[in-house]
Structure 1
Amino acid sequence: THTLDCLSSSPSQRECERTAFSFYCAVRERLPVWLLEDMRIMEVFCWEDGQPRAFLPSEALLYALVHDHQDYARYLLNRYSVSALKAPRCSFCCCRSTGAPHLNVAVRYDRVTILGMMLEALKDCGMKSQHREYLDSYGNCSHVADAGKTAVQLAVELSHPDCLLLLLVQGARPDGLDTALQRLISCDVSERRHAQRCLDFLLLFLPEPPLLRCLQDESQRWQSLLGNEVFCWLCGLAPPPLLLQALRCLARSGPDQISTLSNFLQPHIFRL
């Protein structure tokens, strides 16, 4: 604590804190991109290893995500590509974070448009194995928000179906079925529609249903909730419903293909 007090009393560190807060406010106010970049490159500094340094594009992108500054996010991704998605150093323990904090922040704040931009940048980098690894990564630093969760797991937990569909279409692993089922029965009525869509999307991308004890323990309840065909498929007693198989092909071709379907063809219909 004494060391931190000494550091915070340093005039140089206080100046870094002042410029960093000014930059945060400027992004929050959605000032023009050129002005924000001038600030980031020439005026804004972080305190790291006992000396000031300029804000990184990846740190600026986190600010753009939090405040939904889509123009600035687009510029950073176009200018710096996947390097803007590198995990910045944790400011609490100074370790180099791993994982995909930008994806998790986008999901937490439901920034569907910027998430789409980031996923396009990943796809354009041409490294398929690294692309998949990034989508399915877990944060390793306990100080980072949502540590230990993939972006897909977080989308299911928060019932953000649009973010979930974008991630699944790009090849993210469809984890979290158990969470989706529990979320469906525990969430508020106002959130049930979104929780239902998250479950629907996971079902569309599951290669094989995992064995879930909750289905066996409360079979009547889940059979009533899911419908007989889906329930039997999830329990390994029957093949997937025909409509689900058809919608799988459509879902894999892009998120717009599912979201623009007529109501009577939306995924929930295969539970009737």
Structure 2
Amino acid sequence: MEILRYVAFATDPAGGNPAGVVLDATGLDDATMLATAAEVGYSETAFVVSSDDGVLGVRYFSPLAEVPFCGHATIALAVAHADRHGAGPLHLRTNAGPVPVTTSVADEGTTVATLVSVAPRTTPLAEADQAELLSALRWSADELDPALPPRVAYAGAWHPVLAAADRSRLADLDYDMPALSDLMRRRDWTTVDLVWRESPTVFHARNPFPPGGVVEDPATGAAAAAFGGYLRDLELVGVPTTLTIHQGDDMGRPSVITVSVPGDRDSGIGITGAAVRI
């Protein structure tokens, strides 16, 4: 088995979110994939199996569990595939559904990938869950931005969305990992999407990921797609629009995620980012 290591949503290996990529996972069982992801130690490793119809089957494993979809590992595997076979369109079959991806080479030689998520959904965040979530985060309700109401958003995986009223609140992340992990496991949440709005189309985000055995994700494409759907569903942005999400800065791993939000509410959300091999 050849294990590649890429950083997604950055052009510098010191930034972005690292992902493991296995471009040929034919014959690997679940236990082997989970053990491999744990050995790699990144928030996710993507395992790819080719099929006769040209569609690539993809499964994503964190060090502790399988997840239905992972945005940054998808960007990483697409760029790894382009580096090996040339840029162009890919058709992925994930546990969350079909995900088309396109890769291209930018003027400076960096390979960039764009995925289109499955159709997003947004649901209310129950008051009891919100209270438990705030308690685990050690946040208070009066620190939230009332213009961006709490919800649970989906674009391949579920993420509660909480918006901080102040950038300093987002910068100060010190949560109760066992309590948050327990809540997220019970609710089947993948990461918590904590955001702060800098301008109408520029956001900063942090994503705790304790169910995966990771304190925090430096760049979370699945959460960014879910957040794009959340903004569209709640009519918090005009559509179509393009958003920029900065993530990882507070961790010392700056990442930039470009989010394309089409006007059609049934359409998936576009996620674009560069990736480079480590």
**TM-score (structure 2 length as normaliser):** 0.30
Query: Which of structures 1 and 2 has the larger relative contact order (alpha carbons within 8 angstroms, sep 6+)?
Result: 2
Tell which structure's C-alpha radius of gyration is larger.
Answer: 1
Pick the structure with more strand per residue: 2
